[in-house]
Amino acid sequence: MGINLTGLNSGMADTYSALLGGMSGSDNAGGVSSLLGDYAAIKNGSYGKMMKSYYAKLEKQEAEESGETDRKKAGKVKDSASASAAASLYKSASALGSLNYDDRSEENIGKITDSVSAFVKDYNSLMKSADKSENSTVKKQAESLYNSYYTNYKLFAKVGITMNSDKTLSFDEDSMKKALQDTEHGKGATVKTLFGGIGSFADKAVNKASQIYRAAGDGEAVTSSKAKYAGVGRSSSSTSSTSSTKDKDKSKTVTDASTATAANALYKSIENLGATRIDNSNKDNVYKAFSAFVKDYNNLIENTDKSANSNVVNQASYLKNIISNNKSAFSKMGVTVNSDKTLSIDETKFKDADMSGVKNLFNGAYSTAEKITDRVNNIYRYATQGDALNKKTYNNGGSGVNAPTMDSVLDTIV
């Protein structure tokens, strides 16, 4: 049965006549022009094309928004492979910190070489799993760890560790053993600088493994009191810091439960601030998150100032320096660095400030927040593990070290 086009056109004309007939005065003039324009667009097909274009654009926008949501979710995707690899790296990297790099006996050189070999194996495993990960935080932290290596690749090459194109490492055991036996050219000291003491590459690997595990796993961090796999789950007894002579002699390694709790709280508040949308349209939420950070930071500083663990005190000193170095940036957002290195925040000034300043400090792989997090992780580890960590610490001045430490070098990277 065919369609009578003449009848259709006639019907449309009658309809428009009825509509137009109901108009008068100025409404009639404007309405006639508009309706005739719409009618012409319908007849020549341009209206249909316009609607198709509109819905296509709308569909694209929805897809992009969905994709953005998926990307945001990707940062919280569980990644069991990377979590497992991070756990292994945490163990092998921590083990490197407890070795005696001054003992040049054949047996000890073999022990160090085997430990470095295990570390390289675990490092490579983590890099491979992180490369495949859909978790953006895992990728970011793995990239940060790689950059720490890359910046010092010449030092690594001297002791038999070289970089592959896929960011993994190759290890020559014979070169490592020769380096450890070399006292004339200082290669043995280079091994110690790379793997022994606070601020070394191995120490950075411990921190990054902790953060990757937290992001990739089930929410429990290596630095969490529940993280038993790395041996940090033992309780921190308050009786560990008694005033006995014996305990005073071990002040560097006593456990410190209150500081550990404060460090864990600060870690979480930094993590929460990083997850907050930081822009000028979300100032109330940013202020709330930042205030929590200030509160938890001050609490940690108060605890470390009273700590009997000298490693904790040293790491807190580095943390205070990070804060002091950003005094000007904090001031611009209404945050004052006090004489005791605690922080004070003025709500009015904070909310009047441009949130881009906050974002610069607390977002990104190489931000101030990353540096703060590294120190907080160190504080937690020393407060909970005590003498489970290396027996000797190294400061930026090189005290107790035969070669300059990497602490200041790596801090410029991460």
| CA-closest candidate to residue 233, choices 249, 255, 203 | 255
Q: Which residue has the higher pLDDT, 206 or 50?
A: 206
User: 190, 102, 118: which is closest to 153 by C-alpha?
Assistant: 190
How many other CB atoms sit within 10 Å of the CB of residue 131?
Answer: 15
HSE, side-chain direction, 13 A CA sphere, residue 20: 14
Confidence of residue 249 (pLDDT cuts 50, 70, 90): very low
Per-residue pLDDT tens over the stretch 68-77: 444 444 456 7
CA atoms within 13 A of residue 244's CA, in its CB half-sphere: 8
Distance between CA atoms of 90 and 204, rounded to whole angstroms? Answer: 10
- The Cα 5–Cα 61 span in angstroms is 38
What is the C-alpha separation between 257 and 259, in angstroms, rounded?
A: 6
CA angle centred on 269, ends 281 and 74, rounded to 5°: 70
Q: CA dist 191 to 96, 118, 181, 188, 206, Å?
A: 10, 15, 11, 5, 17
Question: Residue 1: its pLDDT value, please?
Answer: 45
| CA distance linking residue 369 with residue 274, whole number of Å | 8
Q: Tell the burial category of 188 from Cβ atoms under 10 Å away from its Cβ (0-12, 13-18, 19+).
A: buried
Select from 382, 409, 397 the least CA-distant residue to 98.
Answer: 382
Distance of alpha carbon 125 from the chain centroid? 20
**Percentage of the chain with pLDDT > 90?**
26
CB-based contacts of 386: which residues, under 8 Å, 6+ apart?
A: 240, 253, 254, 255, 309
- Judged against a pLDDT cut of 50, whether residue 39 lies above it is answered with yes
Judged against a pLDDT cut of 50, whether residue 224 lies above it is answered with: no
Cβ atoms 381, 259 nearer than 8 A? no
* Residues 379, 406: Cα–Cα separation, whole Å: 18
**Mean pLDDT of the region 37-66:** 61
**What band does 407 get if pLDDT is binned at 50, 70 and 90?**
very low
Q: What is the pLDDT of residue 270?
A: 87
Separation between Cα atoms, residue 404 and residue 196, nearest integer Å: 12
Long-range contact pairs involving 321-324 (C-beta distance under 8 Å, separation at least 24): 322/368, 322/371, 322/372, 322/375, 323/297, 323/372
- Among the ranges given (15-29, 276-290, 373-387), the one the predictor scored with the smallest mean pLDDT: 15-29
Distance CA 402, CA 119 (A): 23
Q: What is the pLDDT of residue 149?
A: 84
Residue 343 clears pLDDT 90, i.e. is over it: yes
Residues 6+ apart with CB under 8 A from 128: 85, 166, 168
The mean predicted confidence, pLDDT, of the chain is 73
User: Which pLDDT score, from 0 to 100, does residue 135 have?
Assistant: 87
The pLDDT-based confidence of 297 (bands split at 50, 70, 90) is very high
What global pTM score does this model have?
A: 0.49
Task: Indicate the DSSP class of residue 170.
Answer: E
Domain spans of the chain, in order of start: 77-219, 254-388
Report which DSSP code applies to 138: H
**pLDDT bracket for residue 334 (50, 70, 90):** very high
Query: Would you tell me how many other CB atoms lie within 10 Å of the CB of residue 285?
Result: 12
Per the listing, tokens 């094309």 go with 49
Alpha carbon distance 223, 207 (integer Å): 9
Encoded tokens for 91: 């163990």
